[in-house]
Structure 1
Amino acid sequence: MPIDHTSTDRRHPAKRRLLRPATVWTAVLLAAVSIPVALSQADGREAATTAASAPGLTWRSCDGDFQCATARIPLDHRNPRGRTISVAVMRHRATDTAHRIGSLFVNGGGPGAQLAGFTAAYAHVPSTWRARYDIVAFDPRGFGESTAVRCFPTTEAESAFLSGAPIGFPVGARETSAWISTWSRFATRCAKRDPDLIQHVSTADVARDMDLLRQAVGDPVLNYVGLSYGTLLGTTYANLFPAKVGRMALDGNVGPVAWTQASGGLPSFVREGNDQASAAVLKDFLDLCGKASTAACAFSAGTPVATRAKYDTLLRRLRQHPVTMGTPPDTQTCGYACGVLSLPLGSVSMWREGADLLQQMWEKSSGRTTSSAVTKKARTTASSSAPYAGREQFLATVCSDSPNPRDPRAYEAAARLAYARSGPSALDPAWATEPCAGWPLGRDRYAGPWNRRTANPILLLNNTKDPATSYRQAVTVSRTLARARLLTVDGYGHTVFSNPSACALEHETRYLLTGALPPVGTVCKQDVVPFS
């Protein structure tokens, strides 16, 4: 979810992709069994159960050794004989067929499309997992090659519509007015385009789809790995279908209670404390940079205090006088929001690159350039055959799941509150869900209970210094779920998968292959040391 503040899509105020490209994986077989689908209203009370049939899947070869299929799924699980939608699935069969365990469903975060990057991401899945499991991914309803939420004919048309809003988040009265006006008109437009679909794209809807797909591939229980937003999908599934939970590993954990329960009139990401998590990691980034040489961290000013002061000065400069980055024809105006959002805090392996970019901004803002300045990467244009990927897809799920203020002025107050406690890191999470103020409300979100006893225990993994899903959230999730074990990784970055730990991988692999949990209180070290 949402919650990677390092997205390169600056016009998307709330796109929280953890693994880019989407790291997900796939599967589905033939079957047609009938299953009870537990439904929950927004207040968490269960509605009557409805019998839905697992879809039949016709697999075809795609992208070499991969297989693709399309499932027909009820739009409304309460009305399984009503309108159906398409869910695109993809899988790679287990390479060691003699010792195959079953299917391993994967979701790399978002919420967002998963299949576009699946074949590339598959190479990064540990070979032991690939040997024993069919690795399966699907584009959730509303995204990618599945039936998609779509408010514009092209992504270019959407970008033109949103060009009146500031990039990233608003700063000052003029930008705030433009932001609120643009996103209000955006929500009004989207509400008129396929309103039935928009009302049925919650995480709970996707969890119910996933259970039908589980049946379709012939698995008696769901084996699953979810990262970031994928952890919310996992916890939702675990509490809708506790008897069907097999081996479930959740990495970079979103707190389901904070996500689904309104509190203090705060927007979703401020309510979860994302601003505080980002601020803590930003401080450590600057302190560690200040302790390093300029060869290891180009932005270093020699000491932690001096480096933090240098960063504050840079932001003041960029607010007063934005700079132009890159070389023609690919140039980009970089202002205050750019300086706040440009750091790739979610991936320790990219911290040097982030420091290089800050240094380039520093030199540009002071009127100097050096040969060491980073050149902005060439802009890539989406292929005409690529699935539509608009901002409304992310918003449709997030605004359905998580309560947000309906009064746009509440976001100004939340930004002031969050800035007071977290500084510049607060502005993106404070404004990220403001488009939800005018968004049509969904019908099928799940809001608990979250402590249903699952058939098997769940493994949680979290870095102690995660800028998007804080370690505190992971501890809360471990205490909220009925059967969960937390594996702690002492390190930085968003998700353990994106910031590897050989120790953690060993424990996670043992769990996925045998069901054995790490000992209570296990703490692993991260493989990469920042600025080493």
Structure 2
Amino acid sequence: MRRWRMRNRRRGATTVAALVTLSMALAGQQLAEAGGGPTASVPVPKLHWKPCAPNTDYDCATAQVPLDYAKPRGRSISLAVVKRKATGPGRRLGTLFFNPGGPGGPGTIQFPQNYEFFPKQVRQRFDIVSWDPRGIGNSTAVNCFETPEQAARWNAGHPAGFPVGQAQRRQWIASYRELGRLCEKRDPELLRHVGTVDTARDLDRLRRAVGDRKLTYMGISYGTILGATYANLYPSKVRAMTLDSDIAPSAWTNNGSDDARLPTFLRMGSDRSAAATLDRFLSLCGSASTARCAFSAGGPAATRRKFDQLTDRLRAHPVGIWTYAKTVSDTISSLYIVHPGWTALAARLQQLWNGQVPSAAPAQPAPPTPYPIPYLGEEQGAAVFCGDSPNPRNPWLYHRYEEASAARTGDAGRDWTWAAEPCATWPAVAATRYVGPWNKPTAPILVVGTAYDPSTPYSNARAMSKELANARLLTNTGYGHTALLNPSRCVNAHESRYLIDGTLPRPGTRCAQDTPPF
């Protein structure tokens, strides 16, 4: 996953939530006190591995798990699972489970696409397994539309990026209210059982299915909340866990309160982090020549002014489909992957500056995917996020939040505020939520945070390392969303030592990315 948020674009990372009632908070607390594990009567799924396709290095399997762990003999659902065997040399240590974020990231697609980013020693010593979490992709999935044509009509029914002006706000709110209505009509039971707790239970079943006594895990973005939840539901089952580009548990759950007050992304500080990353992009671009950064205006301050002038111009005069909101949202998305994302973003902004519709990037050969590309409507990420993380339920308040955020963070605040608004009218709350405590004693956990991350702020990595009982923070002094997808040999070396033999970096360790922007 490229970005954790609801909108189904090349960023995840891709989201909405319902107001959590006191009874749900109490249920989560009771779950925490009980240890969180499903009853022993729930059988371990059998994984019948077979090559995903001829001439592929990946094996595929399907796991059957209960929809509702409280009713293990009731309805079952399918999980699509994919594995890449350890390449050797060296003794195989076990299985590394990987979640690519989202919520809504399909592991069967994104893990093979990102396999080469995993440290070489990790690929040698571990089978790496990923899966489409319940509700997502090739697993039993949330799909709120009868036909692809109906989905396309709905997608065309609201503004790109975020709404601008009262008329677009009405259109936006009505569109997402309709999405919630359609989802509730199609499969209301599934909507209430795609939350993080149920996925953590699935993960423990998969761990047992591959025969590992304890879990070795890597989660990025939303995958960090999944990892933290697993660690506190099954604290004695953690062998090693790397959490990269973190969401602070207290921000995700709002400390277990049923009073949302602010949307999740503003609680996290995603607006501030995106604004800071955008400022660095413009400053570094301005310090480079136009040969290296097409949007450069010859200096940092001049380039920042140029961006402001461009967005002001687009408010009044869009360039084709490129409105002000679409351009801002695309800009934030494109900060996720530094190479080639930042250079390509600069080229698009320069074309818009020249009044030209940005040309499509040359098609890059995509890594093969062992599974077919599934339907990935944004309601899939929404079902997870909306059910787990409380957001204000009055859709008409979001304009107020938008203006308050924009006053301190500019355009980024508008984008991140409206990303959570669909939560206001989402119809379902997760049947079970984990709201803490987050400090159950575990084996040491490695937390990786990037200094300039446009989605999950570095402050959230600090919070994650403090809220967990036994965690060590590794600082990546670079840019973009996740150290995994913005490579650092230094980070990879520390992750490899930790995952293989448990050696943590020294407190205060800092790493740099391999290749700076521009």
State whether residues 2 and 229 of structure 1, in contact with CA within 8 Å, keep that contact through their aligned partners in structure 2.
Answer: no
Aligned partner of 2:424 among 437, 443, 446:
437
Structure 1 385/458 Cα, relative in aligned 2: closer, same or farther at 3 Å? closer
Is the deviation greater in 113-122 or in 501-510?
A: 113-122
Q: Establish whether residue 72 from structure 1 lines up as the match of residue 56 from structure 2.
A: no
Partner of residue 218, structure 2: 225
State whether residues 225 and 246 of structure 2, in contact with CA within 8 Å, keep that contact through their aligned partners in structure 1.
Answer: yes
Structure 1 CA distance for aligned equivalents of residues 326 and 119 of structure 2: 35
1:354 Cα offset (Å): 0.8
Partner of residue 280, structure 2: 284
Aligned partner of 2:482 among 457, 476, 495:
495
Q: Establish whether residue 168 from structure 1 lines up as the match of residue 161 from structure 2.
A: yes
Structure 2 CA distance for aligned equivalents of residues 104 and 68 of structure 1: 15
Deviations 1:434-493 (A, max 9, x none): 111121222112111111111x10001111111111111111111110000001111111
Partner of residue 85, structure 2: 93
State whether residues 462 and 471 of structure 1, in contact with CA within 8 Å, keep that contact through their aligned partners in structure 2.
Answer: yes
Structure 2 CA distance for aligned equivalents of residues 498 and 427 of structure 1: 26
Structure 1 19/437 Cα, relative in aligned 2: closer, same or farther at 3 Å? closer
Whichever structure has more helix as a proportion of its residues is 2
- Map of 1:14-413 to 2, 5 A cutoff? 17=11, 41-43=24-26, 44-47=28-31, 50-51=39-40, 52-63=42-53, 64-96=56-88, 99-112=91-104, 113-261=106-254, 265-324=261-320, 333-343=321-331, 344-349=334-339, 350-364=341-355, 374-376=359-361, 386-413=373-400
1:527 Cα offset (Å): 1.2
SS of equivalent to 2:117: coil
Structure 1 CA distance for aligned equivalents of residues 288 and 359 of structure 2: 19
State whether residues 14 and 433 of structure 1, in contact with CA within 8 Å, keep that contact through their aligned partners in structure 2.
Answer: no
1:126 Cα offset (Å): 2.4
- Map of 1:411-450 to 2, 5 A cutoff? 411-440=398-427, 441-450=429-438
Structure 2 CA distance for aligned equivalents of residues 68 and 54 of structure 1: 17
State whether residues 462 and 489 of structure 1, in contact with CA within 8 Å, keep that contact through their aligned partners in structure 2.
Answer: yes
1:338 Cα offset (Å): 2.1
Partner of residue 501, structure 2: 514
TM-score (norm 1): 0.87
1:123 Cα offset (Å): 3.1
Is the deviation greater in 273-282 or in 405-414?
A: 405-414
Question: Runs of 5+ in structure 2 lacking a partner?
Answer: 15-22
State whether residues 96 and 129 of structure 2, in contact with CA within 8 Å, keep that contact through their aligned partners in structure 1.
Answer: yes
State whether residues 15 and 110 of structure 1, in contact with CA within 8 Å, keep that contact through their aligned partners in structure 2.
Answer: no
Structure 1 3/123 Cα, relative in aligned 2: closer, same or farther at 3 Å? closer
1:358 Cα offset (Å): 0.4
State whether residues 100 and 220 of structure 2, in contact with CA within 8 Å, keep that contact through their aligned partners in structure 1.
Answer: yes
SS of equivalent to 2:186: coil
SS of equivalent to 1:299: coil
Structure 1 CA distance for aligned equivalents of residues 4 and 135 of structure 2: 20
Deviations 1:384-436 (A, max 9, x none): 96322111101000001100111111211111111111100011210112111
Structure 2 CA distance for aligned equivalents of residues 127 and 252 of structure 1: 21
SS of equivalent to 1:186: helix
Percent pairwise identity:
48
SS of equivalent to 2:307: helix
The alignment covers a number of residue pairs equal to 489
Deviations 1:267-312 (A, max 9, x none): 1111111000000111111111112111111111112121111111
Deviations 1:314-346 (A, max 9, x none): 01111111112xxxxxxxx10101221222111
SS of equivalent to 2:241: strand
State whether residues 15 and 394 of structure 1, in contact with CA within 8 Å, keep that contact through their aligned partners in structure 2.
Answer: no
Structure 2 CA distance for aligned equivalents of residues 143 and 192 of structure 1: 18
State whether residues 501 and 524 of structure 1, in contact with CA within 8 Å, keep that contact through their aligned partners in structure 2.
Answer: yes
State whether residues 3 and 13 of structure 2, in contact with CA within 8 Å, keep that contact through their aligned partners in structure 1.
Answer: no
Structure 1 164/379 Cα, relative in aligned 2: closer, same or farther at 3 Å? farther
SS of equivalent to 1:135: strand
Structure 1 CA distance for aligned equivalents of residues 337 and 57 of structure 2: 30
Deviations 1:176-210 (A, max 9, x none): 01001111111111111111110001011101100
State whether residues 268 and 404 of structure 1, in contact with CA within 8 Å, keep that contact through their aligned partners in structure 2.
Answer: yes
State whether residues 250 and 461 of structure 1, in contact with CA within 8 Å, keep that contact through their aligned partners in structure 2.
Answer: yes
Is the deviation greater in 209-218 or in 60-69?
A: 60-69
State whether residues 117 and 487 of structure 2, in contact with CA within 8 Å, keep that contact through their aligned partners in structure 1.
Answer: no
Structure 2 CA distance for aligned equivalents of residues 239 and 303 of structure 1: 49
TM-score (norm 2): 0.90
Structure 2 CA distance for aligned equivalents of residues 226 and 79 of structure 1: 28
State whether residues 177 and 425 of structure 2, in contact with CA within 8 Å, keep that contact through their aligned partners in structure 1.
Answer: yes
Deviations 1:10-59 (A, max 9, x none): xx636673579xxxxxxxxxxxxxxxxxxx95343124663322111211
Partner of residue 34, structure 1: none
State whether residues 59 and 68 of structure 1, in contact with CA within 8 Å, keep that contact through their aligned partners in structure 2.
Answer: yes
Structure 2 CA distance for aligned equivalents of residues 488 and 415 of structure 1: 30
Structure 1 501/390 Cα, relative in aligned 2: closer, same or farther at 3 Å? same
Structure 1 255/15 Cα, relative in aligned 2: closer, same or farther at 3 Å? farther
Structure 1 103/278 Cα, relative in aligned 2: closer, same or farther at 3 Å? same
Q: Which has the higher contact order (CA 8 A, sep 6+)?
A: 2
RMSD: 2.3
Structure 1 CA distance for aligned equivalents of residues 198 and 279 of structure 2: 38
State whether residues 260 and 392 of structure 2, in contact with CA within 8 Å, keep that contact through their aligned partners in structure 1.
Answer: no
Structure 1 117/494 Cα, relative in aligned 2: closer, same or farther at 3 Å? closer
Structure 1 41/99 Cα, relative in aligned 2: closer, same or farther at 3 Å? farther
Structure 1 CA distance for aligned equivalents of residues 236 and 350 of structure 2: 53
Deviations 1:504-525 (A, max 9, x none): 1111110011110011111112
SS of equivalent to 1:82: coil
Q: What amino acid does structure 1 have at the position aligned with 2:100?
A: G
